[in-house]
Structure 1
Amino acid sequence: MDLMGMMGKLKETQQKIEDTKKRLDTVIIDEQSTDSLLKVTLTANRTIKSITIDDTLLEDKDQLEDYLILVLNKAIEKATNVNQIELDAVTKMDMPMIPGMEDLFK
């Protein structure tokens, strides 16, 4: 087993993961309620960039809270899926197979 080569490959993969995470900051996910009264924009790294609320929702606090929970959860789920697919692609493509190492990249 070439330990030095494996360590170099590991460092290279870690750098690719960091580069992918930076790139995911530029991947935008848009989500909205079915009636378009609430819109959310976030990055694939799950950083919220904007929330747009229609004035009609401001009249009903409970409805607004329900909308926020529903739309934010849908947006976060989409962003998480994109994030996972991208990071999995990097780690599966470049990682030497060492038992237990996959846990380091979660």
Structure 2
Amino acid sequence: MFGDMMGMMGKIKEAQEKVEATKQRMDTVLIDEKSSDNLLNVTVTASRKIKNISINPELLEDQEQLEDYLILTLNKALSKADGIYDQEVAAAAKDGMPNIPGMDMFK
């Protein structure tokens, strides 16, 4: 019984390490997003850090339009980042977890 428990605890620790490694890897996964007319390009990491913003000079003439473009394009990029991050972390957690009957948390 204790052997099974120790083995399970080892697997849980291993799963935690896999999740942490995956979270660190998400800092290196880049998501590029462009406005529909390519006047604004942003790059974010899967861990939701902004890495680059490229603005066409045409947008600099209208502050309100630029703000709208930034909000829309950054939100699209961050939404994609959220999806990738959540999917990768869940997969790492599920992969490392011991098979415990009735504990299907990551379906």
Measured against the shorter chain, the TM-score band is 0.7 to 0.9
- Which residue of structure 2 aligns with residue 8 of structure 1? 10
Unaligned runs of 5+ in 1: none
* Residue identity in the other structure for 1:10: I
- The one-letter amino acid paired with 1:52 is S
Structure 2 equivalent of residue 36 of structure 1: 38
Structure 1 Cα separation of the partners of residues 74 and 59 of structure 2: 15
Structure 2 spans left out of the alignment, 5+ residues: none
Aligned to 1:79: 81
The structure having more radius of gyration, on CA atoms, is 2
Q: Please give the secondary structure, in 2, of the residue aligned with 1:14.
A: helix
Calculate the aligned-residue CA RMSD, in Å: 2.1
TM-score scaled by length of structure 2:
0.86
Q: Which residue of 1 aligns with 2:59?
A: 57
Distance in 1 separating the partners of 2:102 and 2:12: 13
Q: For 1:48, which of 47, 50, 53 is the aligned residue?
A: 50
Deviation, structure 1 residue 25: 1.1
Offset from partner CA, 1:34-85 (integer Å, 9 cap, x none): 1111100011111110001111111111101100110000000111111111
Question: How many residues are aligned here?
Answer: 103
The CA deviation at 1:98 is 8.3
| SS of the residue 2:54 aligns to | strand
Q: Which residue identity does 2:52 align to in structure 1? A: S
| In structure 1, distance between residues paired with 2:46 and 2:101 | 28
Compute the displacement of 1:4 (Å): 1.8
TM-score (norm 1): 0.86
